Copies of this chain bind each other. A is one copy, B any other.
C-alpha cells in the first residue's frame, strides 16, 4: 500500500528553515516508516536562497510567490520560520485563512499574538503547532499539553536561553567577566552580533509566556512579565554565590499560588544539588512540578538548526497524522479559549535572597544593615564580611543570605540601606530558588 502523502511548504530558509527542509528530504524514508505518511516537501519559500543553496537543497523547491503555495491544494502544512512579528504574522494569518495548518518556531510571534492567531486558526478550521518555540529540540510543549495532562501544573522553572546559559557557564567555570564571556560566545557563534534579545531576558520571557499559558490554562499578558537579564550580572556575585553552594542561572520562573501566578525572568541562585544546576553550556532544561506526578525534568539542546528542526518536524508529523487538529479542537488549554491569568506583581514574589552591599571598612556596618533588614521583617540566614576587593576604594563587601521574604520587602530594605552613610554603591540582590516542594496543594 502506498503511504498517504502530505504536501509541505517551508517558509523562511534561514538556519532552522534550511535544516527543516534538509531533514524532510534526507530523512523522508525514515519518517515514512515511522509515521506511515510521506511528508512531501514541495516548496521552500523565501526571497533569498543562499542558505538553501549552501545546504544543497534542490532548486526545484525554491519559490518566491507565497500566493502560489497558498493556492496549491496539495499543501496541507506550512512551516513559518521567517522570524520576527510583522511579516511572520502576516504570513501566518494568510496560511490559516487558507485553511492550512501552521507549524512555527516563532516564540515572539506566539507570545505577542498567539491568542489572536489561534482564534483565526479556529475560525478557519485550522490549527497551529509550536513545539520548537520553547526549548529547541526538547519536547516540552508536548510534556505540558500531553504527557502531564493528568496534572494541575503547580510550577515550572526553566533554563530556556542557550546563549545566556553558555555565558553563565563560562563565568562560573572559567571566572570570566560577563563582557569577556559574551565576546567569546559571539566568536563561537553562540551569541548574535546584537545579543540584546537573549541577554536582556526578552527571548526567555517569550518562552515563559507560551509555556505558562499552556501549563496553567490561562491567557497570559506578555507585557506584564517582569524581566531581568544577565547583562548586569557581576562576576563578584557569581563567585560569592559559588562559595555559598549556589550556581547562578537565568531562570524562567512560573509558580501557581492561591492568589494568582508568579511569572518572572531573572538571574537566580540555585543549589548545586538542584537538577537544573548542572545544565551547562548551550543546553536548556525545564523542571515541571505536577500535582500528581511531582517533579519531572526535560533536558536538551535549546537551539541550533537540526535540534530545532527535530521539534519542527515532530509537529509536522503530528499535524500530518491529524493529531494536532484533535488537540487544538478538543483541548481547553489554548489561550484563545481560556480566561486571563491573574499575574501577581513582582513585589509579592516570595523567595530567599542573596544580598551584597559595599560598605566602608569600619565597625558597626553589619549591625546597621541587620537593623534595617529587621525593620522590614527580613530574617538573616547567614552574613559574612569579605576581604576588600581590588579597586573598590577600600570598601568591603558584606554578603548576606536571608530567609524567605517578599521582593517588595527586599527592595525597600535595600533602598534604605543604599541611603546609609558608608554605603559606596547600590546594593545587589539575587533570589535564591529552592527545590520547589512536590505535591504542594
Contacts and interface: CB of A to CB of B under 8 A. Distances in A.
Nearest to A439: B306
A342 to B, nearest CB: 17
A54 interface: no
A310 interface: yes
A79 to B, nearest CB: 12
A436 to B, nearest CB: 13
A326 interface: yes
A137 interface: yes
Interface string A139-176: 10011001111111000000000000000000000000
A299 B274 CA distance: 13
A322 interface: yes
Nearest to A39: B150
B217 A34 contact: yes
Contacts of A299: 275, 295-299
A35 interface: yes
B322 A326 contact: yes
A319 to B, nearest CB: 12
Contact of A152 (B30, B314, B323): B30
A283 B297 CA distance: 11
Given A139-B146, A147-B314, A326-B322, A294 B275 contact: no
A306 B297 CA distance: 17
Contact of A31 (B23, B150, B300): B150
Interface stretch (A40-48, A328-336, A346-354): A328-336
A66 B410 CA distance: 62
A34 B296 contact: no
Among A4, A30, A137, A273, chain B packs the most CB atoms within 10 A around the CB of A137
Interface in A57-106: none
Contacts of A285: 297
Interface in A313-331: 313-314, 316-318, 321-323, 326-327, 330-331
Contacts of A291: 27
Given A293-B310, A299-B297, A310-B293, A139 B147 contact: yes
B148 A314 contact: yes
A111 B276 CA distance: 33
Interface string A275-306: 10010000101000011111111111100101
A397 interface: no
A316 B150 CA distance: 9
B300 A300 contact: no
A226 interface: no
A293 B137 contact: yes
A330 B293 contact: no
A331 B36 contact: yes
Contacts of A147: 131, 139, 142-143, 311, 314
Interface in A251-287: 273, 275, 278, 283, 285
A395 interface: no
A309 interface: yes
A50 interface: no
B322 A148 contact: no
B37 A330 contact: yes
Interface string A354-378: 0000000000000000000000000
Among A131, A297, A304, chain B packs the most CB atoms within 10 A around the CB of A297
A138 interface: yes
